[in-house]
Amino acid sequence: MPRLPRVSGPDAVRALQRLGFEVTRQRGSHIVMRRGTAGCVVPNHREIKTGTLAGVLRQAGISADRRNHAFTAAVTAKAETGVGVTALLVPGLFVWSRFVNVPSDATVVEVVGQQWQWSFRLPGKDGKLGTSDTRDVTAENPLGVIAKDPNGQDDVVVEAADLHLPVGKPVKMLLRSIDVLHDFYVPEFRAKMDMIPGSVTYYWFTPTRTGTFDVLCAELCGAAHAQMRSKVVVEEEKDYHAWLEKQRTFAELSAQGNVAKASYKTGSE
């Protein structure tokens, strides 16, 4: 008998099933199969030597010709599985590559999830987002922007309000959670991504039509999970810039917080 490539235990089982055998039980690292009064025990290993498989087939009372057929069937099953997995995987890799490779001209928006609201941060006029850290989150600094980073002073902060985006422009969404798992999901954008505490995930998309779209959390995040909603407003660029000019920067919000604390302290004295 010609020496054929090694096959796995499951491939041998499938080959025997094609010859009419059925699995009756699994005993430790072996599988017991029967066909009528004939029976055999197949080692359930990652690889089975050809000699071992030949012995299994002889034990099952299969003739030399049928054993050759069983070898061929086992190898064919292994090859068919490899081809099937490759056919499914390769197109997905091309799609995934487009999903993770962000266009160089994409606008960056940070999305911050917390029980149970959405907040957003956009670069200021310098075009750069300042750094942030969950350890810096306070009532006065709910997004944890690092105050000593000069790039963060002009960042636009949109706390618990709607996000506006320009139509036809690619957007990279930086996703950050400051408490538990969340998942930023806008059904019409046909993309979503988990937000994991302690790390930043991302995805990108290009809004292709104007409108107002619901933001949902697609990860069970606590008692008010169903109420964790917001909206994304996609609009023409001039309307987007008009909205952007009305938003407050991190520096403005920090100054307001300092004034409020000073007023409270003066009033209590």
For residue 40, the domain's CATH number is 3.30.920.30
Check residue 242 and give its pLDDT.
Answer: 94
Check residue 158 and give its pLDDT.
Answer: 92
Give the CATH number of the domain where residue 172 resides: 2.60.40.420
Q: Which of 59-68, 137-146, 218-227 has the lowest mean pLDDT?
A: 59-68
Residue 20 pLDDT > 60, yes or no?
yes
Write down the mean pLDDT value for the chain.
79
Asked if residue 154 and residue 84 are part of one domain, the reply reads no
**pLDDT tens by residue, 239-259:** 999 999 999 999 888 876 554
Is position 40 within any domain? yes
Final residue in a domain of this structure, among 71, 100, 129: 100
Q: What token pair was written down for 208?
A: 């292709």
Share of the chain above pLDDT 70, in %: 69
Asked if residue 119 and residue 68 are part of one domain, the reply reads no
Residue 137 pLDDT > 60, yes or no?
yes
Residue 106 pLDDT > 60, yes or no?
yes
Q: How many angstroms separate the CA atoms of 135 and 131, rounded?
A: 12
Domain that holds residue 200: 107-268
Q: How many angstroms separate the CA atoms of 189 and 97, rounded?
A: 18
Asked if residue 46 and residue 159 are part of one domain, the reply reads no
Q: What token pair was written down for 216?
A: 């949902």
Asked if residue 230 and residue 175 are part of one domain, the reply reads yes
Higher pLDDT: 187 or 56? It is 187
Higher pLDDT: 17 or 157? It is 157
Asked if residue 133 and residue 57 are part of one domain, the reply reads no
Residue 60 pLDDT > 60, yes or no?
no
Total domains present in the chain: 2
Residue 147, CA atoms < 13 Å, CB-side half-sphere: 14
Check residue 44 and give its pLDDT.
Answer: 59
Segment 90-119 shows an average pLDDT of 88
Confidence of residue 37 (pLDDT cuts 50, 70, 90): low
Higher pLDDT: 160 or 257? It is 160
Residue 6 pLDDT > 50, yes or no?
no
**pLDDT tens by residue, 61-87:** 554 455 456 556 666 777 778 888 888
Higher pLDDT: 82 or 225? It is 225
Segment 41-59 shows an average pLDDT of 54
